[in-house]
A and B are shown apart, each in its own frame.
Chain A
Amino acid sequence: MTALFYQSLPASFSLVEALREPAAVAAVRRTAPDELAREELLLRKLGPRGWGRVHHFRNYYASDWGENGRVLSPKALDAFFRFVEEAQFPAGGPSVFLTDRGGIELCWEDREGRPVQIEFTGTGAEFYQAATEEEGVVAFDSLAQLARRLSA
Chain B
Amino acid sequence: MPLPPGEEIVRAVHTDKWDGERLSPSLFVGENISVSRLAIIPLADHWDLFRQHVQQPPERLLELIAQINVGRLQAIGRDRNPSVELTVEQKPEEWNPAHAEIPQRITRGLANKILPELTLHGPPGPPAMK
Which residues on A are within 8 Å of B, measured CB to CB? 49, 53, 56-57, 60-61, 65-67, 69, 95-101, 103, 105, 107, 115, 117, 119, 126-128, 130, 133, 135
Contacts and interface: CB of A to CB of B under 8 A. Distances in A.
Interface string B7-29: 00000001111011110111001
Contacts of B22: 95, 107
A105 B59 CA distance: 18
Contacts of A66: 14, 16, 54, 56, 60
A135 B109 contact: yes
Contact of B19 (A53, A69, A130): A53
A107 B107 contact: no
Given A61-B59, A97-B17, 12 more contacts: A49-B20, A57-B16, A60-B59, A95-B21, A97-B24, A101-B30, A103-B26, A107-B22, A115-B112, A127-B108, A128-B108, A133-B109
A105 B60 contact: no
A49 B19 contact: yes
Contacts of A128: 25, 108-109, 112
Interface residues of B, number: 22
Interface of B: 14-17, 19-22, 24-26, 29-30, 34, 54, 56, 59-60, 107-109, 112
A97 B16 contact: yes
Nearest to B17: A97
Q: Which of A49, A97, A105, A115 has the most chain B CB atoms closer than 10 A to its own CB?
A: A97
10 contacts: A61-B59, A61-B60, A67-B34, A98-B16, A103-B26, A105-B26, A107-B24, A117-B108, A128-B108, A128-B112
Nearest to A108: B22
